[in-house]
Amino acid sequence: MNLFKNQQSLVPLCGAVVLALGAAACTPQPNTLTKKEIADGWQLLFDGRTLDQWKDYNGDSLTMPWHVVDGCIQAAGDGSDLTGYIVTRRQYENFILDWDWKLSHGGNSGMLYHVVEDPYFAVPYVTGPEYQLIDEAGWEEDNAPTKLEEWQRLGVDYAMHLPDKAAMVVHPQGEWNSSRIVFDNGHVEHWLNGRKILEFEAWTDDWFSRKHSGKWENAPEYGLAHRGVICLQDHGYPASFRNLKIKELPRKAGREIDLFNGEDLTGWEIYGTEKWYVDADGNLVCESGPDKQYGYLATREYYDDFELMAEFRQLSNGNSGIFFRSFVEPDARIHGWQCEVAPRNHGTGGIYESYGRGWLAQTPADKEVMLNEGSWNMIRLRVEGDHVQTWLNGEKIVDLHDAKIGAAQGRIALQIHDGGGIKVQWRSLRLTTL
């Protein structure tokens, strides 16, 4: 992460490997997998020769100053807070990620994961967590009298969780160290040189408390993604990496979640100035406020593949909706897709894309009668990969495949449309992960 700029001249961090014939017979070559590792599902992220599996963050090709030097991926040290990031061409969800690393004097780098690529995000660290890599002694020597904060030190989950220092064995600057990240359906571990140094659960109350009270307070999408690209950071210091390999772990599906507890807005975040509250009957109410603008009540977590059942009743106007795989800017602009909820003949159950293509699938005219105005309705939304289906009161409305939706991820959000005069009740919002 960006601490202070201390440009170093490029030094040869990777020496050519010269092995005696006898040692070569028993020592694994860098950037290779054993037969057992291959059988166990490990994959190389770097073959020691090319950077074919890597590209610029938010780019289509590799133009950042990274090079292959003596069988290592090497950062030239030309990066900054806004530049120098390269990412894998593939996304990863649950995994074990291993790598070796070596830093220059005072070196500052990092390994990020679950990074989201979107032009809205100028830098990867506002979305993806980071395993911090830094030569602490060298950095503090070069930047004296400034000292590193504890959350900036080696091995931390940057600005979130601290490692157990007693468990850490660190090889001196200029020598190779080995690290591991485990991400298993929200369970996270950091390892250093064969020892576990940090462990936590993502997306718990404690996790969200840390997120909202520190560096990420104004980064609303930080750490929410369930999958994303892996990112290497050139932060103005030469750094070398080798033996980058990953083993993907299975997703645990079938989790049943009550998104609304009938008492308060726990698990949700309000965007905009419109009204969201729980009424005396335990219903979730969205109501236009005096500003008469768009407003959103978004889940604090991401849900990508799911089936959602929800009941709604339109008390006034009724122009609302359920956004999915969406992210919300702090000024209450939303990016994503909406399952429409609106007055009769205005497309309830259809799919609309905000800030993009508009209607992707509209409600057939003969199915508009399925909406019970002034009474309770059941909406069913199923999203799996690029496949989106909706039902209104048991009648299928939309069956859509869309590549752009398939590539996205994000929150679920209820909407209040602008214009004022809107009041809609919601209840029984139940979700099953797929």
Domains in the chain: ranges and CATH = 21-248 (2.60.120.560), 256-433 (2.60.120.560)
For residue 18, with 0-12 CB atoms within 10 Å meaning exposed, 13-18 middle and 19 or more buried, which class applies? exposed
What are the backbone angles phi and psi of residue 23, rounded to the nearest 5°?
Answer: -70, -35
How far from 185 is each of 95, 227, 352, 412, 415, CA to CA, in Å? 9, 10, 30, 19, 29
β-strand partners of 177: 101
CA 336-399-269 angle, to 5 degrees, is 30
Bridge-based pairing of strands 95-103 and 195-201 is: unpaired
CA distances from 44 to 63, 213, 280 (A): 22, 37, 57
Q: Say which DSSP state 369 is in.
A: G
Nearest to 230 by CA among 241, 219, 221: 241
74, 68 in Cβ contact below 8 A? yes
Question: ∠17-21-26 over CA atoms, to 5°?
Answer: 85
Q: What is the pLDDT of residue 27?
A: 55
Task: Name the maximum alpha-carbon separation found in the chain.
Answer: 83
**Buried-exposed string 19-28: b where 16+ CB fall within 10 A, e elsewhere:** eeeeeeeeee
Burial of residue 400 (number of CB atoms within 10 Å: 0-12, 13-18, 19+): middle
Predicted pLDDT at 65: 84
Q: Please, where are the H alpha helices in 136-277?
A: 136-142, 205-213
pLDDT value at position 83?
A: 79
d(CA 11, CA 102) in angstroms, rounded, equals: 11
364, two tokens: 């057939």
The whole-angstrom separation of Cα 54 and Cα 86 is 6
Residues of the chain with pLDDT under 70: 1-27
pLDDT at residue 92, rounded to an integer: 98
Give the C-alpha distances (Å, rounded to integers) separating 254 from 155, 208, 248, 305, 429. 33, 23, 19, 10, 16
390 class by beta-carbon count within 10 Å (0-12 exposed, 13-18 middle, 19+ buried)? buried
Residues near 367 by beta carbon (within 8 Å), at least 6 away in sequence:
349, 392, 395, 397
User: How far apart are the C-alpha atoms of 67 and 64, rounded to whole Å?
Assistant: 9
CB burial of 201-217 (b: ≥16 within 10 Å; e: otherwise) equals ebeeeebbebbeeebbe
Which residues does residue 170 pair with via DSSP β-bridges, in sequence order? none
CB 128 within 8 A of CB 113: yes
Using DSSP, state whether 22 is helix, strand or coil: helix
Cβ atoms of 157 and 165 closer than 8 Å: no
What dihedral angle (degrees, nearest 10) is formed by the CA atoms of 78, 84, 90, 92?
110
Please check whether residue 286 is in contact with residue 422, taking contact to mean a CB–CB distance below 8 angstroms.
Answer: yes
